[in-house]
Amino acid sequence: MITLKSCPMCSSSNIDFITAEGDKFDGEKSNICMNCGLVFLSPRMDDTELTEYYLSNSFSTDFRGEEERVGRNDFLTSRAKIRWDAIGHHFPEGGNFLEIGCSSGEFMEFAAHKMVVWGVDPSTGYLNSMSHFDSNFGEARVGQFPEESFSDVVDGFDVIGLFHTLEHVPDPLALLNAIHDRLADSGLFFLEYPDLELASQRESLPATYFQKSHLYDFSGFNLINWMNEAGFTIFDIVVPNRNYPNDKNVVIAAIKSNSSDERMYLRERALALRNRIRAAISNHNPVNVNLGRNPKIVHIGSHTINIGDGAITSGIMWAVAEVLQSPVDFSQIDIVDYLSELSAERINGHNPDFVIVGGGGAIDGHHGRKETGTAFRLSMDEIDKIEAPIMFVGLGHNQFRSQEFFHEDVLSDFILYCQSNSIPFSVRMDGSRERLGRIISSDAHDYIQKIPDPGFFVDTSNISHSPHFAPIPGAKKVVVQIATDGAENRLGSKELYAKFLSGIWEYLENTIANHGVQVCIATHTYDDLTIPVYMAEKIREHTLRSKVRVTGVYHPIYAREFFKTYEEADLVVGMRGHSVICGTGLGAPTIAIATHDKVRGYMVEAGAADWSIDPSQPGFAGKLYEKTSELINSPENQTRSVGQATEQWESIFKSFLKEGLKSI
Q: Would you list the DSSP string of 146-214?
A: TTS--TTT-S-EEEEEEES-GGGSS-HHHHHHHHHHHEEEEEEEEEEEE-HHHHTTSS---GGGSBTT-
Looking at the structure, do residues 177 and 115 belong to the same domain, yes or no? Answer: yes
Find out whether 419 and 566 touch, Cβ atoms under 8 Å.
no
User: Is pLDDT above 50 for 70?
Assistant: no
Looking at the structure, do residues 435 and 499 belong to the same domain, yes or no? Answer: no
Q: Which of 282, 317, 335 is the last residue of a domain?
A: 282
Give pTM, 2 decimals: 0.62
Q: Which of 430, 458, 486 is the last residue of a domain?
A: 458
Prior bond to 122 cis, omega within 30? Answer: no
Residue 16 lies in a domain: no
**Per residue in 108-133, pLDDT tens?**
999 999 999 999 988 776 677 776 77
Residue 602 lies in a domain: yes
Name beta bridge partners: 183: 157
Q: What is the pLDDT of residue 339?
A: 59
Q: What is the pLDDT of residue 472?
A: 86
**Per residue in 516-551, pLDDT tens?**
999 999 999 999 999 999 999 999 898 889 999 999
Prior bond to 359 cis, omega within 30? Answer: yes
Q: What is the mean pLDDT of residues 563-578?
A: 95
Looking at the structure, do residues 567 and 446 belong to the same domain, yes or no? Answer: no
Find out whether 239 and 220 touch, Cβ atoms under 8 Å.
no
Looking at the structure, do residues 488 and 453 belong to the same domain, yes or no? Answer: no
Find out whether 88 and 253 touch, Cβ atoms under 8 Å.
no
Q: Among 482-486, 624-628, 641-645, which stretch is predicted with the lowest mean pLDDT?
A: 641-645
The CATH number covering residue 440 comes to 3.40.50
Residue with the larger pLDDT of the pair 423 and 50: 423
What is the 8-class DSSP label of residue 610?
Answer: G
Residue 519 lies in a domain: yes
Compute CA distances 430 → 30, 199, 580, 581, 624, whole Å.
Answer: 46, 34, 11, 10, 22
The CATH number covering residue 165 comes to 3.40.50.150
Find out whether 463 and 487 touch, Cβ atoms under 8 Å.
no
For the chain, what percent of residues have pLDDT higher than 70? 94
Q: What is the pLDDT of residue 71?
A: 46
Find out whether 98 and 115 touch, Cβ atoms under 8 Å.
no
Looking at the structure, do residues 145 and 223 belong to the same domain, yes or no? Answer: yes
Q: What is the pLDDT of residue 75?
A: 63
CA within 13 Å, CB half, 590: 34
* CA 162, chain centre distance (Å): 24
* Model confidence band, residue 471 (pLDDT cutoffs 50, 70, 90): confident
Domain count, the chain: 3
Residue 23 lies in a domain: no
**Per residue in 447-470, pLDDT tens?**
999 999 999 999 898 788 888 998
Residue 616 lies in a domain: yes
The CATH number covering residue 525 comes to 3.40.50.2000
User: Is pLDDT above 90 for 446?
Assistant: yes
Query: Exposed (0-12), middle (13-18) or buried (19+): which is 177, by Cβ within 10 Å?
Result: middle
**Per residue in 363-393, pLDDT tens?**
999 998 999 999 998 999 999 999 999 999 9
User: Is pLDDT above 70 for 230?
Assistant: yes
Q: Among 172-186, 449-463, 633-647, which stretch is predicted with the lowest mean pLDDT?
A: 633-647
Residue 489 lies in a domain: yes
Looking at the structure, do residues 530 and 567 belong to the same domain, yes or no? Answer: yes
Residue 6 lies in a domain: no
Q: What is the mean pLDDT of residues 490-518?
A: 92
The answer to whether the Cα torsion of 404, 410, 415, 416 is positive or negative is positive
Compute CA distances 104 → 70, 116, 167, 531, 557, whole Å.
Answer: 11, 16, 19, 44, 24
Residue 547 lies in a domain: yes
User: Is pLDDT above 90 for 52?
Assistant: no
Find out whether 490 and 520 touch, Cβ atoms under 8 Å.
no
Q: Among 5-19, 299-313, 638-652, which stretch is predicted with the lowest mean pLDDT?
A: 638-652
Looking at the structure, do residues 549 and 595 belong to the same domain, yes or no? Answer: yes
Q: Print the domain residue range for 446.
A: 296-458
Looking at the structure, do residues 482 and 559 belong to the same domain, yes or no? Answer: yes
SS3 track for 225-280: HHHHHCCEEEEEEECCCCCCCCCCEEEEEEEECCCCCCCCCCHHHHHHHHHHHHHH
Looking at the structure, do residues 83 and 151 belong to the same domain, yes or no? Answer: yes
Looking at the structure, do residues 129 and 271 belong to the same domain, yes or no? Answer: yes
Looking at the structure, do residues 181 and 275 belong to the same domain, yes or no? Answer: yes
Torsion, Cα of 140, 146, 149, 154 (10° steps):
150
Looking at the structure, do residues 120 and 190 belong to the same domain, yes or no? Answer: yes
